[in-house]
Every structure is written in C-alpha cells, then in structure tokens.
Amino acid sequence: MADIAVMGYGTVGSGVVKVLETNKSLIGRRAGQEIFVKYVLDLRDFPGDPIEKKITHRFEDILEDASISVVVEVMGGLKPAYDFTRRALEAGKSVCTSNKELVATHGQELIEIAKKNNVNYLFEASCGGGIPIIRPLNSSLTAEDIDEISGILNGTTNYILTEMSEKGSDFETALKEAQELGYAERNPEADVEGYDACRKIAILSSLAFGRTVRYEDVYTEGITKITPLDIAYAKKMDMVIKLVASGFKTGEGGTKYNCLVSPFMIGFSHPLSRVNGVFNAVFVHGNTLGDSMFYGSGAGSLPTASAVVGDVVDCVRHLGKTITIIWDSEKLVLSDIKTVSRSFFLRVPSKDLDRAKELFPVKEVIRLDSSSDEVGIVTDVISEEAFERAANSLGTVISRIRIAI
C-alpha cells in the first residue's frame, strides 16, 4: 500500500479524493499497489466529510511521516505551496501538482530538486486540465524537433468566445453567463486577460523546447476587447476567434523562438478551430511527425483530478527512480515580438480605406454590408512592428486581430 497526502481540499483536492475512491481497484491494479490517502492538509475542518479524520492543519505531520511516499499539492499559489513542495521533495517524497503558477515560476528548480532526491515532481494537471499533454511531450514526442506548440488553454475564455460566436452576445453578457454557470471566477482577470494561459504556455514551451521560458517574457493579450462585430467579420471570412497561446520557432532557419498569448482568427482547416465551449486542446507540430493535437476537458474538478491521480500512479510505479524531464535552467531566448511577421485583420472607417491601402499590404477587403461606415481588411504577411507603425499612422484603426495561418 502506498500512503499519500493531499494538500488542499478545494475543488481539485476533493476531486482527487473522489477519483481515488471511485476507481480505487482499477487505480490500485495499475499502480501495482493500493493507494491510500492518509492525510488531507487544509486550514479548515470538514465535519461530516468522509475525510474528516484525515484532516491535519500541520504540514509537518506529512513531512515527518516516513510512510508518505507521494504528496499531492493542489493548494494553488506560491505561498506556502513552494516551500511545502521543496521540503517534501527534499524529504524524499514525490510531489504531484495542478499548480500552474508554481510550475511556471519554480518548475525547473523543483524538477532538479526532485532529481537530486531520486523522487519525482509531476504536473500533468497544470496545463489543459485532464488532457494528457505533459507526459506525451516528455515521453512520446522525444524523437521530434518541435517547431510549434499552440493551445486553447483556458476554458473560461473559450466558453465566452464560443457563446459570443454562437449567440451573438457581447463580452460582458457572455462573461456574466459564464460566472453564473461557475465557468468564470467572480474576479475573472486571470482568465480573460490571458494570464492563466500565459503561465500554461510558458510551461508547455519550456518542455517542448527544453529550456526555460519565463512567463513574464510572454507577450499576453486577453479577450476583453473582442466585440460581436469582430466575430461577425470572422464568420463572414469563415473563421473563428480563439484565445491562442503559442510557442514557436521563428526567424530564418528557425533558430529563434517566440511565445505569445493573443486572440487569433483561425480558419476552419486548423484543428484548433473546432474546439468549443470549456474544452481545451493543444496542437503540436514536429519536424517529422507533422501535425498532432490533444483535446479534452480543460478544467473541472474531476478531469483535473484524474490527471493528478495519473501522476500519483506514475510516482508509485517509479518509487526510487526519477522520470526523465528535459527542462534546462538555461533561458530560452525569445525574439522581440515586433520582429515576428504574420497576417492581420483590422477594421477601419470606410472613409479611411484608401489611406489604409497606402499604409498596409492589403490582401482583402471585407464589407459586412454595403451601408456600413466601416470595412474589414486582411493584410498580407507583415511584421508586428510594421503593422504597429502603419496603424499609428492611420490613427483610426477600430480593432485589430492576429490571423493564424
């Protein structure tokens, strides 16, 4: 029997206990031994809950119990999660987490500490909820030179954009509905401003490219400025608007990298275009594999918990042995986003179309209806810097959205 502890009895923590209970015999069979939750660490008590008697308020109870081989950290945030994780690893206990903030901030260091102590720090649930993507990156796509990893990594914003697209509602209305359904927090900033997706793509890019991508270096733009009119143009062009987080090779010979989070217009031939509602997906392009995509529930108590428990099983299978994760402390040098080139969509007042044609490499002009006093423009490929310069010169750009090819 493998004794484990769960730190944090919130949405994911209670899900972990539930998944372990629901699929107990299957999980025990796959781990090679029964997995038993000995402690649940939380500041609160849970009278009447089945885990009532397992609750401890002292981290040291877990740390000092030599029988505990795996610790689940689903507290979230950096404090005290970072300190607890470090100390657990140093005490020879593996740690499994869904804590994207901690992994994006200290993941590389914690992996190193785990390695030194012959234990594991696993974080499948930190990106894309229940979608297996971390393990495929670490263990399956090992023959690939990955040149792009792009994802719809935030269920809240994808739900909002899907609602806006299907019902024609504006951002505020769709956000309110998402909040009422529990898909968005009362303070939705981390989701709608792209901060959540930013941390996730920093983690995924670090693993895909093998060096550290600091989330602070990732250009991040949210979806708060997207309007029903933007979406109407996208529809007219047979495209959708998605919040895409992407890490990719750029520059000549693909020797540089860039990483960003931004709304993108995507054509329906792209696999990510069909990912709707609270679903998430991660698209990977490798030099010999070509396109691949991993799709599934991006959030939710049980799917995320399922990924955490999958990591627990892997830790139990690998007691005394560290699973290889290639994530160097060396920083991945990101090129300035200004140097990245792509097509853009922009809206301008009809009266400025001629001037816009002088300033931008206009590829296509889109009119929603003939009486409208504005037009949409699709540009040819142009650098972010040149686009910005032209937009400033024009001075009357109503909105602009990047286009994914």
Tell me how far, at minimum, the Cβ of 87 lies from a second copy, in Å: 26
SS3 (DSSP) at 40: strand
Tell me how far, at minimum, the Cβ of 118 lies from a second copy, in Å: 14
CA distances from 156 to 161, 163, 277 (A): 9, 11, 8
Residue 27, amino acid: I
Q: Which two tokens stand for residue 12?
A: 């994911």
For a second copy, which is the closer residue by CB, 302 or 390? 302
Residues that bind a second copy (CB under 8 A): 15, 18-20, 22-23, 26-27, 29-32, 124, 130-132, 135-136, 139-145, 210, 271, 274, 279, 286-297, 300, 302-303, 305-310, 312-314, 317, 321, 324, 326
CA distances from 6 to 3, 78, 124, 305, 365 (A): 10, 17, 16, 11, 56
Q: What's the CA gap between 300 and 302, in Å, rounded?
A: 6
For a second copy, which is the closer residue by CB, 32 or 77? 32
Tell me how far, at minimum, the Cβ of 318 lies from a second copy, in Å: 9
Tell me how far, at minimum, the Cβ of 260 lies from a second copy, in Å: 23
Provide φ and ψ at 210, rounded to 5°: 80, 0
For a second copy, which is the closer residue by CB, 24 or 58? 24
Any idea which residues carry the catalytic annotation? 200
Full DSSP string of 324-373: P----SSBPPBPPGGG-EEEEEEEEEGGGHHHHHHHS-EEEEE-S-TT-S
Q: Which residues on neighbouring strands pair with residue 41, listed in sequence order?
A: 7, 56
For a second copy, which is the closer residue by CB, 67 or 287? 287
For a second copy, which is the closer residue by CB, 202 or 325? 325
Tell me how far, at minimum, the Cβ of 124 lies from a second copy, in Å: 7
SS3 (DSSP) at 54: helix
